[in-house]
Structure 1
Amino acid sequence: MMKTIFTMACLATLCAAPGLAQTTSAPADSASAPDQDPVAAWNADRTVFVDAAGLDLDSFKWIARPVLVFADSPNDPQFVQQIELLEARAEELALRDVVVIFDTDPAARSETRLRLRPRGFMLALMGKDGVVKARKPRPWDVRELSRSIDKMPMRQQEMQDRRGVNQ
């Protein structure tokens, strides 16, 4: 509940000051803080959303499944809807080792944006191997996202290993 309130406050701030998109949208203790390792921040709280600014996407390779959300502005209705959908079921994503990475500043030309080359709003799902598994031009709910992840061979193996431990 508090995270949703915080996010809504951030989005309201962004609507009032669109030029502050990348610096205002993440909390001071988020993975976008210059002195904090984004992987360590995500490991500490797997429901934290990570700003793409200054992020080396390969730092999550073999650790997490990045879900990247791009838009040309934090005011983009599809971006707002997508973030709300992801936040509402962030715990389900955390169980699947998903890290949500967002980028709403095309002018900043982040490494992530240059690598995936979005046009307007885009959601991209990557595997732990760093390969893009899906690209979507519209918001995707967590149920659809989870289904795609659960079909991945590595995720199938993780579920099988977990069942073997619990038997």
Structure 2
Amino acid sequence: MKLKFLFFVMALSAMGPGRDAPPPDVPNPETAVRPNPARLPPIAQTSVEPEDPASIVPPEVSFLSADDATPDDFLWNSRPIVVFADTEGDPAFIEQVEALRRGAAALAVRDAVVILDADPAADSIWRRSLHPRGFSLVLIDKDGQIKIRRPSPWDVREIGRAIDRLPLRRQEIGRGSVSR
């Protein structure tokens, strides 16, 4: 009996206040007493100027040569996007670099850094650890793990979506492990 009473009280409290109560008093704007502006204290003048949109600098993505950085430089700080090619004249390499430059703002928000390696003879640490063949795009997460390899150019929007699905990125933007 006590349990039934407890459930009844919980259900009753969950319903909220009764609807029989009169609505709250809302002053009528036509009959409301308005203060006399002449009797009000003066308003302090502050000079708050809006920011000039041209002065706001969007975040930028660093484009680095493979010789200028090592994977350890970015561990837990940035997401390296490594673009490999056998020559700088490779059409896929040129297309990918241009796409990354156009979408640099979207990548900067995601803490991405672009590493370019178009010289197989240099035998960079990136080539030794990732073993590319011809053109290749590799996305590495902040924890140093390889997340995506692509043998063809990839749109920045697709790269951004792939980064947003990474567990570390989900934690950064506060979604946790919410699945779509």
The residue number in structure 2 matching 1:90 is 104
Identity %: 50
Matched, 1:141 2:151: no
Number of aligned residue pairs: give it. 117
Distance 1:124 1:48 in 2: 16
Contact 1:54 1:110 (C-alpha < 8 Å) held by counterparts = no
Larger radius of gyration, structure 1 or 2?
2
The structure with more helix, counted as a fraction of residues: 1
* Residue segments in structure 2 that go unaligned for 5+ positions in a row: 1-58, 176-180
The residue number in structure 1 matching 2:164 is 150
SS at match of 1:160: coil
* Residue segments in structure 1 that go unaligned for 5+ positions in a row: 1-44, 162-167
Distance 2:170 2:68 in 1: 32
Deviation at 1:55, TM superposition (A): 2.3
Residue deviations 1:31-80, cap 9 Å, x none? Answer: xxxxxxxxxxxxxx732201001522111000000000000000000000
Distance 2:60 2:74 in 1: 12
| Alpha-carbon RMSD | 1.2
Matched, 1:58 2:72: yes
Deviates more, 1:47-56 or 1:109-118: 47-56
Structure 2 counterparts to residues 1-167 of structure 1, below 5 A: 46-160=60-174
CA 1:54/1:91 → structure 2, altered by over 3 Å: closer, same or farther?
closer
Letter in 1 for 2:106: E
Distance 2:66 2:139 in 1: 15
TM-score by length of 1: 0.68
The residue number in structure 2 matching 1:39 is none
Deviation at 1:160, TM superposition (A): 1.1
TM-score by length of 2: 0.63
SS at match of 2:128: helix
SS at match of 2:174: helix
Letter in 2 for 1:123: L
